[in-house]
Amino acid sequence: MSYNLLKGKRGIIFGALDANSIAWKTAERVHEEGGTFVLTNAPIALRMGTINELAEKTGSQVIPADATKIEDLENLVEKAMEVLGGKIDFVLHSIGMSVNVRKGNAYTSQNYDYTHKGWDVSAVSFHKTMSVLYNKDAMTEWGSIVALTYMAAQRVFPDYNDMADNKAYLESIARSFGYFFGRDKNVRVNTISQSPTPTTAGQGVKGFDGFIAYAEKMSPLGNATAEDCANYTIAMFSDLTKRVTLQNLFNDGGFSNMGVSTAVMDKFTE
């Protein structure tokens, strides 16, 4: 169902890899709601994924950018404004990567070069992106910037590893940069803390299937899907949420406020 919520709005969507990605689903929904955008990902991810399909389907251009490199981001923002014909109304940062997780390193014995790389890609890239948008004055007034995060930023999920620290850092950047973006440009910055979602990135985490099943049993509304996250993001990009900023917004079926559920207790009293 379309409400034309983003009619005439222009944006940049980071991180669509394949049809399972939250960024991919968000791009499809933005398109349905009348928004136009450029798609971007790191050159290696572009080779691995199927983003050209999405670009074709939504009439979008793909502009490669390594989000850890300022010059790539400057090029991206300049080209995006050129292609879209004006300033940017919305940005989705949907980037996360831990080399320690990929290589199977325990949280207690990290390779710190890997830690640094993951931190740069998953968190500092958000600061760099906003820094370029801010300094180029590339956002429209009442524009909206959203980054995707996860509750491991606040609570312990042992196998989420150093990604938990990256997400905590990401959420802090959203608040800190969000203050300046709000004060100086009337732009809002928020993070959406999503249920565990079976994306290509998510499935890299050990014991992921068991964890999804647990979260499903804990949440009164069940897990939020990638589609649910896309819809929430649309609401955050729309003019309906123009005074919402500096928030970490849970889209998790209620999981974040649960202590225990009857469904989980039943498992233990069998």
Which amino acids are annotated as binding site for NAD(+), given as ranges?
15, 21-22, 95, 167
Element (H, E) at 141: strand 139-149
- With the CA atoms of 179, 240, 125 and 88 taken in that order, what torsion angle do they form, in degrees rounded to the nearest 10? -100
267, containing H or E segment: helix 262-268
Contact (Cβ atoms closer than 8 angstroms) between residue 67 and residue 117: no
Q: Quote the CA–CA distance of 164 and 176 in Å, as a whole number.
A: 19
Indicate which residues carry an active-site annotation: 150, 160
Strand partners, 12: 38, 91
Per residue, what are the HEC states of 211-228? HHHHHHHHCCCCCCCHHH
The length of the chain is: 270
Instruction: Residue 222: count other Cβ atoms within 10 Å of its Cβ.
Output: 16
State the DSSP code for 110. -
CB 162 within 8 A of CB 169: no
Binding-site residue ranges: 15, 21-22, 95, 167
Q: Cα-flanking dihedrals φ and ψ of residue 127, to 5°?
A: -65, -45
Q: Which amino acid is at 72?
A: D
Do the Cβ atoms of 48 and 15 come closer than 8 Å?
no
| Cβ 117 vs Cβ 131: under 8 Å | no
